[in-house]
Amino acid sequence: MLTKIVIIGASGFGREVLWTLHDCNEKLKRYEILGFIDEDELLNGKSVNGFPILGGLDWFLTKDAKDVECVIAISDPKTRKNILNKLEKQKVSFSTIIHPSVIHSDFVQIGKGTIIQAGCIITVNVKIGNYVHININSTIGHDSILQDFVTINPGVIVNGNSVIHTGVNVGTGTIMKQMIIIGKWSIIGAGTVLIENVPELSMFLGVPGKLKKELEP
C-alpha cells in the first residue's frame, strides 16, 4: 500500500521536495502525493507544479487527512518548529524523506520528519535529529551531530566530530573545520568558513567566520 503524503509549504523548497518524492517513486513506488498545505489563503484552490493546494493547517482536522503523512518543507527552523507546535494536538505523522542519490553508511541515525536532498553524503556514525533539512550536495563528516530543526543549505561541508545544536541555519556553501560546535538557533551566513565555535543565538559571517551580531531569542 502506498503512503499518502502531503507537503507543508508550497514555495521553492516545497517544490524541490515534490521533485524528490517523484525521484523516490521512480526508484520504488512508495508515495501517493496528494498535494500541498499552505497557510497563504491566496493559494487556496490553486495548483503548484501539477498538484493542488489543499488548504491551510486546518486541513489536518478534516476526514481527508486520515492516515495521511506529511513533511514540513519550510527551510526556516523557527517557522518549522512553530508549525510542528500547531500540529501537536492533531497527532500528525511525519515522513522522513531521503533522495535515492544520497550516499550514507549503515552507521547513521536519522530522525523523523527529516529531509535529505539529492547529492548529499552522510559518512559514518552521524546522528541526525528530527525535522532536519540537509539540502543538495552537502556533506556531513564522521561522528557529527545535527540536532532537531537544523537547516543545512546547499553545498555545505560539515567536517568530522562537529556538533550543530537545535535550530541552527547554516548558509549555502559554508565550510566547517572539524570539531566545530554551533550553539542553538544561530545563523551562519552563506559562504562562511568556520574555524571557531559559535555561541548560541549568534550570526556569524565571513572568511574566516566572525560574530556579526547577537540574535533575539
pLDDT in tens, 73-110: 999 999 999 999 999 888 899 999 999 999 999 999 99
Predicted confidence (pLDDT) per residue in 21-34, tens digit: 999 999 999 999 99
Provide the number of structural domains found in the chain.
2
Eight-state DSSP code of residue 188: E
- Region label for 88, one of left (φ > 0), alpha (ψ between -120 and 50) or beta (otherwise): alpha
Residue where one domain finishes, among candidates 95, 127, 144: 95
Predicted pLDDT of residue 126: 98
Looking at the structure, do residues 57 and 121 belong to the same domain, yes or no?
A: no
Strands 202-205 and 210-214 come out as antiparallel
Q: How far is 212 from 214, CA to CA, in rounded Å?
A: 7
Predicted confidence (pLDDT) per residue in 58-74, tens digit: 999 999 999 999 999 99
Q: What is the CATH number of the domain that holds 168?
A: 2.160.10.10
Name the 3-class secondary structure at 142: coil
Cell numbers representing residue 49 in the block: 507544479
Residue 213 lies in a domain: no
Name the 3-class secondary structure at 84: helix
Predicted pLDDT of residue 44: 85
Looking at the structure, do residues 68 and 156 belong to the same domain, yes or no?
A: no
Predicted pLDDT of residue 88: 85
Q: Evaluate if pTM is beyond 0.85.
A: yes
Mean pLDDT, the chain, as a whole number?
97
| Preceding omega of 217 cis (within 30 degrees of 0) | no
The values of phi and psi at residue 143, to 5°, are: 60, 20
Name the 3-class secondary structure at 31: strand
Predicted pLDDT of residue 104: 97
Contact, 41 vs 55, CB < 8 A? no
Looking at the structure, do residues 174 and 120 belong to the same domain, yes or no?
A: yes
Closest CA to 199 of 189, 186, 217: 186
Looking at the structure, do residues 71 and 20 belong to the same domain, yes or no?
A: yes
Element containing residue 180 per DSSP (H, E): none
